A and B are shown apart, each in its own frame.
Chain A
Amino acid sequence: MRTIPLASALWYNKCVDLLTVSVTARESAGEPYTLVEIAGEADVTNTDDLRRLLEEEVAQQPRVLIIDMSGLRFMDSSALHALLRVNRSLDRQGGVLALVAPQAAVAKILRLTTADRLIPVFGSVAEAAAG
């Protein structure tokens, strides 16, 4: 049996944080919304951080919270649960969650779990803000 050291490959770069999240307050046609941009890879090793950050935003009681996933290469089921929780919390307080531009791997897990039927998915932030 050969043992091979983990080499750098497409989805692995030691120099880059696994997950980066940025939050900005925006406006579309006079309506405010919160834009959360998630980039990198979201999995069980950083779900707690992601959940905490999203919960802080939910606590601000936004009417619309848009998550731009275009920079997210990967998402596992624990990160998905964090999104489902956010969706439920927002729903309870009369807010709306929208997802934007999931890449192939992220779109796959959303589709498999039918989460994409529960949470609206848009092609762009502009569409999500208008929708």
Chain B
Amino acid sequence: MSWDAKTARRGPVAQDAAQEALTGPPSARPGVGAPLPPPAPDAMSYTYTTDLAAIRAVVYRHATEAGLPEPRAIDLVLAVSEVAANTIRHAKSAGSLKIWYDAEEIVCQIEDDGQISDPLAGQRQPSLDAMGGHGLWIVYQVCDEVEMHSGEAGTTFRLHMKLAGRRAR
């Protein structure tokens, strides 16, 4: 693997980002979440506008090809679909999906030009009465690791699912 995704776990990253967002002067804020290393060079790349069903289909196909067990493939499909749904709700242009995997994990990266200002978005469970906020919360629940970076250029989510050492949920 050409880059190291193991260094950033979602908890500490989010806390650091929260601290940064709270203490840094607005002009010095680098955005929310740590900047991400580039995707794997052999990543498969797709763009989407409102064709979420197609996005779900490719994620499912690659996840099962990569060897992710069926229930976890469904989890990944659910997570990617929720992030991509945010693109439709909040971004002004098309979104981009990149997928790559090796023997250890499959990674889906979703990028759009929307901005997220809350570094803890999706990390608190919304009540069932809340008419929103479940989407990102689901993403954090089903994925083994979630990385998020948001700034003026847009928002990038990187969702990781382990292929070895499967976790039962």
A interface residues (Cβ-Cβ under 8 A, vs B): 1-4, 6-12, 18, 41, 43-45, 74, 76-78, 80-81, 84-85, 104-105, 108-109, 112-115, 118
Contact = CB atoms under 8 A, between A and B. Distances in A.
Contact of B135 (A18, A78, A115): A78
A4 B137 CA distance: 30
Interface of B: 39, 41-46, 50-54, 56-58, 60-61, 70-71, 74-75, 77-78, 81-82, 85, 88-89, 98, 128, 131-132, 134-135, 137-138, 141-142
Given A74-B81, A76-B78, A108-B78, A113 B134 contact: yes
A45 B88 contact: yes
Contacts of A112: 138, 141-142
Contact of A74 (B51, B77, B131, B135): B77
Contacts, number: 103
A3 B45 contact: yes
A15 B51 CA distance: 14
A4 B71 contact: no
A6 B166 CA distance: 29
A18 B55 CA distance: 13
A118 to B, nearest CB: 6
5 contacts: A1-B39, A6-B54, A41-B56, A105-B77, A112-B142
A12 B52 contact: no
